[in-house]
Amino acid sequence: MKSILNDAATRSIRYLETLDARSVAPTAAAVEALRAFDEPLPQTASDPSDVLRLLDEIGSPATTAMAGRRFFGFVIGGSLPVTLAANWLAGAWDQNAGLGKPTPSASYLEQVSLRWLLELLQLPRECAGSFVTGATVANLCGLAAARHAVLQRAGWNVEADGLFGAPPITVVIGAEAHPSVTKSLGVLGLGRTRVVKVPVDGQGRMRVELMPAIAGPTIICAQLGNVNTGACDDVAAICRRAKPAGAWVHVDGAFGLWAAATRSHAHLAAGVGEADSWATDAHKWLNVPYDSGLAFVRDAHALKAAMAITAEYLPSESAIRNPSDFTPELSRRARGVEVWAALRSLGRDGVADMIERNCAQARRFAAGLTAAGFEILNDVALNQVLVAFGDAEKTKRVIEAVQADGTCWAGITVWQGRTAMRISVSSWATTDADVDRSVAAMVCVARTA
Ligand SMILES: *Cc1c(COP(=O)(O)O)cnc(C)c1O
């Protein structure tokens, strides 16, 4: 056991230490070499150290360097070393973290992390929380609690009786709501398209003055951090309209909610604590390993009503909160361990510094690309930069060439009709020098593409 675990540590460390010197995207040859995995199911056992060697020699080169310093695709953080180390240790523990009583460490660390997160993100201290796979499932948790609460107020028990014959719920979303919100609405039987869409402004923010009049059971989905522009809805204004009318306000803040943890950008999340439920990711801006999402719900009873199950064989009474009372999953890994490690090591200042540094680096990208004559399509208010290198065809060619060049990686999007390269700065490891080096590579590639 000792030798294979030491071998894994050695190989992991070598992987991370050499990331900076390799192409961010894997080479075509490395991807081609994956065919070596496509062998018949082995009949007999083989040496575990050979298994690990195969994994590293064939698997590692065909990864994208998402853990590295110059990956700017999709809003993907890296992993702070202490969180990866905590992940290794928690892996060794192999706790079934769904159950509070049998897994005191894992459950207690979640409970403490939850308290810290509510403080850090300016959310009501009475919130319940779910440690889930990502913001998609966190949106599902928040909206499931919303569905419970608005129907309960209308005299309907949705968990017991389902939606057939239930009073209708009006669901209001911004035209730029993330597809994981509409997917969650679909899973919950509320319908992906059976929604009232509020038009957005040029940055993708909901135009609050165009929100419909609210009557009857209503759920409103706001957003902090548009995936393209990084723009944040005016949650305070949305709540001023919605709350007196009895609507439930859910905030998808997958990365934008972290603005609340800063001094410089907290205004983007002003009034966020007035909402009823929130979804965010830890694997994005908190820089913990995949996968790690978080849901917070002010009305703990509503979340528990939507999620908890009971069975004779499952312990329910416990001094430590029972994590599976708040999540779609029963059995699951101890996600709170890495969240705790990140918060314990960074502290309030460290989190704020990391977020603010990435925001400054996004502005640095925008300034460098503007100086080189390229057009920035968004207000760089957070960590997102949209750049066009010319028309759609030219921009597409540049993006492909940037990815092939391998200095850095950024993806493609279409923003309000314009094809753009989308740069997301969300890694603890990115330095200003990395930004400058990436801008230089983009400019150089763009001249010839
Ligand atoms: C990333 C993102 C999601 C989905 O998060 P996952 O962690 O991929 O499930 C939802 N909403 C927004 C705004 C996002 O940026």
Q: Which of 66, 133, 180 to mutate to test the pocket of ligand 1 (most atoms within 8 A of CB)?
A: 180
Could you report the per-residue pLDDT of 110-154, keeping only the tens digit for each?
Answer: 999 999 999 999 999 999 999 999 999 999 999 999 999 999 999
* Any atom of ligand 1 within 6 Å of the Cβ of 227: yes
Alpha carbon nearest to ligand 1 atom 14, residue: 254
Among 136, 283, 382, name the best residue to mutate to test ligand 1's pocket (greatest count of ligand atoms within 8 A of Cβ): 136
Contact in structure between 241 and 208 (CB atoms under 8 Å): yes
Output the six-digit token pair for 146: 């919303």
Distance CA 295, CA 327 (A): 9
- Distant-in-sequence, close-in-space partners of 270: CB < 8 Å, separation ≥ 6: 234, 235, 236
Gap from CA of 253 to ligand 1 centroid (Å) = 8
In tens, the pLDDT along 275-328 reads: 999 999 999 999 999 999 999 999 999 999 999 987 777 666 667 889 999 999
Whether ligand 1 lies within 6 angstroms of the CB of 142 is answered as no
Residue-by-residue DSSP string for 108-126: HHHHHHHHHHHHHTT--TT
Rounded Cα distance between 431 and 420, Å, is 24
> By C-alpha distance, which of 22, 154, 13, 72 is closest to 424?
72
Distance between CA atoms of residues 260 and 288, nearest Å: 18
| Residues facing residue 187 across a β-bridge | none
In the prediction, which pLDDT does 240 show? Answer: 97
Q: Which of 252, 278, 286, 384 to mutate to test the pocket of ligand 1 (most atoms within 8 A of CB)?
A: 252
Residue 108 has pLDDT above 90, yes or no: yes
